[in-house]
Amino acid sequence: MTEFERAQNVLPGGVNSPVRAFRAVGRDPLFIARGKGGLIFDTAGREYIDYVMSWGPLIFGHAKEEIVSAVTEAAKGGLTFGAPTVRETELAEEIRFAAPYMERVRLVNSGTEATMSAVRLARGYTGRDKLIKFAGNYHGHSDGLLVRAGSGCMTGAVPDSLGVPASYAGDTLVAAYNDLAGVEALFAANAGKVACVIVEPVAANMGVVPPKAGFLQGLRALCDKNGALLIFDEVITGFRVAYGGAAQLYGVTPDLGCFGKVVGGGMPLAAYGGRKEIMELVAPLGGVYQAGTLSGNPVATAAGLAQLRLLRERRGTLYPALDAAGARLEAAFAAAGVPVGRVGSILTPFFAPAAPENAAEAAACDTRAFAVYFGAMLDMGVYVAPSQFEAMFVSAAHTEAHLAATEAAAAHAVASARKR
């Protein structure tokens, strides 16, 4: 019995997150034994250059010494207390330092919790029920947000989910990403009813799709005009595309922000926050209830704090280096004839005539060609996400040798896909 067959006997589809199943690329998933720096090693001992990086959080690579040491020391003192610790405060202070608009921060365990809680808070603050989201933007698997989502839903050709009541979906209004006129029309058709607009400021769950010039600024203006809150889902982009996230990179200040991935340093941890007067509606100060027994637990906060302190210390040189590495890989794919969506250290090569600007264009990509490309990359020892609609993540641990090997693999893999 293979590892995957064994897993399928106890786990639905043999996985705990659907895209890991490799169904979109016609293969069985790898089972990973360990990782170090820019590399992972499967249970058969094979070595791969890793550009999944646990879907983004490992900005310093696998098993970063300072982070592992912080986790080890924290665990020695106790895994969880269900009571406040100083690290929670320190981590929130680090987040606020990087994103000053987050005057108050609440720690949670996952990006889904962060976005779900931010939407609830926006509804509580405005007294309105409806929200506007964008096709192809994925904000976790809570009922009200799992409508025309990206990522695994696009990969599996399932635009929505069974089990989501129509009454939930009915309050979710969907616009096309990068289409301000569509958002304006939704506001007009639902005057006085929209609590918030939630957006991935850089879409990263239909492949990496940057915002058009003026798009985020336009959302800010429309929310102000209509009395709605603007929520940036920076679960992927926070501390990744810039030290202060996409809000800093594009110079747009949301009312609420959601962070995940990088803020946990590889542990399950996320956060949402924003202006003081909004956040003070969250229990115990206000009537918007949200709680979690393990939120801000000592081990996760130790990992997150160690990583954010490293980022703060090295931000002056780290982010330019990550951007340069991302640009180098973008150039390699472009030279092979594949358009690329990239912002900083996250990128996606698209098997399409041009890099898409929205979910409809992303959905038209040649996923069969991508599957051939994926297999060729894997056979050459480069591990990328097993979906056309995900990102590659460059880390500070990717060396010159890793990048050079990836350039060579990309040329071969794209050529193989074109010959299929």
Mean pLDDT over residues 332-356, rounded?
A: 97
Q: Is the pLDDT of residue 241 over 90?
A: yes
Contact 67, 266 (CB under 8 A): yes
Q: Is the pLDDT of residue 256 over 90?
A: yes
CA neighbor of 144 nearest in space, from 175, 174, 176: 174
What is the pLDDT at residue 362? 96
State the amino acid at position 418 in one-letter form. Answer: R
pLDDT tens, 202-220?
Answer: 999 999 999 999 999 999 9
Active site residues: 138, 233, 261
Contacts of 314 (CB under 8 A, 6+ apart): none
Q: What is the DSSP string of 49-90?
A: EESSGGGTT-TT-BT-HHHHHHHHHHHHT-S--SS--HHHHH
What would the two tokens of residue 96 be? 């606020």
Give the H/E segment covering residue 409: helix 400-419
What is the pLDDT at residue 151? 53
Order of strands across the sheet with 270-274?
A: 104-108, 270-274, 256-259, 229-234, 194-199, 130-134, 172-175
Using only C-alpha atoms, the chain has a radius of gyration, in whole angstroms, of 21
Domains and CATH numbers, the chain: 3-63+316-419 (3.90.1150.10), 65-308 (3.40.640.10)
pTM, full prediction = 0.94
Sign of CA pseudo-dihedral 388, 394, 395, 400: positive
Q: What is the rounded average pLDDT for all residues in the chain?
A: 94
Residue 48: HSE in the Cβ half-sphere, 13 Å Cα cutoff? 27
Q: How far is 381 from 390, CA to CA, in rounded Å?
A: 19
What is the pLDDT at residue 158? 39
Rounded to an integer, what is the distance from CA 339 to the centroid of its chain?
Answer: 21
